[in-house]
Amino acid sequence: MATILTVDAVLLTLIESELHVALFKRDSAPFKGVWALPGGYVHENEDDHAGAAAARVLLDKAGVVSPYLEEYGTFSGPARDPRGWSLTVVYYALVPAPVLGSSVQWFPVDKLPALPFDHAHIITGVVARVRSKAAYSSLPVFLCGEQFTVPELHAVYEAVLSEPLNRANFRRKLEDLDILEEVPGATRPGIRSRPAQLYRLRKPYRSALSVRERGL
């Protein structure tokens, strides 16, 4: 029997300050009707590389084009899939909460349903990776919309890290990363009716390249 070669995508967002992962109900065996990560076979004649396959799966199954997509790792062996020896390349993506297809639903990462294959193990690992990288990188920015205030971004970082962050230190961190720019003339009502300046990612960082590839 040929090796089963697939990709799986861990799609994360924040809902009410809590990390959620997108799961879909499998429409075929094995585990038909069970919640699982969006995944699929690599199409040799269509996908230039595994990342392209993961992007295609996210678009086909969740209707999402992610501004951030990064490889997490590979999982393989004879026991992970009842159909035979399999290998999957796992990617993770961060998005502001989008509207998903009817077969896809958000679940809190700490309150998952029973999952097939090794998907629970994969999600646990990805969440740990995201929280680790959030401590030193710009990664949580991709959980914001196109425009946001510094206090809103501060709240996103705190939600991902599950701990409070000193505001002055956080602003210094943003200055060191140097990835944001003001949106000219754009503000949002702030505390005590003072307007808050809106920011966005600087143009070089608005592509689909990952934070790791940008060296942040």
On the question of pLDDT at 94 being above 80, the answer is: yes
Q: What is the mean pLDDT of residues 166-187?
A: 94
Are 111 and 148 contained in the same domain?
Answer: no
In which band, very low, low, confident or very high, does the pLDDT at 213 lie, cut at 50, 70 and 90?
very low
Give the long-range contacts of residues 52-61, CB within 8 A, separation 24 or more: 53/7, 53/89, 54/7, 54/8, 54/9, 54/89, 54/91, 54/93, 55/208, 57/7, 57/8, 57/9, 58/9, 58/11, 58/93, 61/24, 61/101, 61/103, 61/104
On the question of pLDDT at 160 being above 70, the answer is: yes
What is the average pLDDT value for the chain, to the nearest integer?
89
Q: Which CATH number fits the domain that encloses residue 15?
A: 3.90.79.10
CA 89 from chain centre, in angstroms, equals 15
The pLDDT value recorded for residue 210 is 39
pLDDT tens track for 123-158: 999 999 999 999 999 899 999 988 999 999 999 999
Q: Number of helices and strands (H, E) in the chain?
A: 5, 9
Q: What is the mean pLDDT of residues 171-190?
A: 92
The pLDDT value recorded for residue 55 is 94
The pLDDT value recorded for residue 191 is 65
| Whole-Å CA distances, 188 to 172, 193, 196 | 22, 9, 5
Percentage of residues of the chain with pLDDT beyond 90:
71
Domain that holds residue 186: 139-214
pLDDT tens track for 21-49: 999 999 889 999 999 999 999 998 899 99
pLDDT tens track for 69-88: 999 999 999 989 998 999 99
CA distance 104 to 33: 12
The pLDDT value recorded for residue 62 is 87
Are 30 and 87 contained in the same domain?
Answer: yes
CA distance 151 to 13: 18
Are 105 and 20 contained in the same domain?
Answer: yes
pLDDT tens track for 100-126: 766 789 999 999 999 999 999 999 999
Are 146 and 95 contained in the same domain?
Answer: no
Contact by Cβ (8 Å): 1, 86 = no
Which among 121, 122, 137, 209 has a CA at the least distance from the CA of 173? 137
Q: Say how many domains are in the chain.
A: 2
DSSP assignment, residue 142? G
On the question of pLDDT at 212 being above 90, the answer is: no
Are 12 and 110 contained in the same domain?
Answer: yes
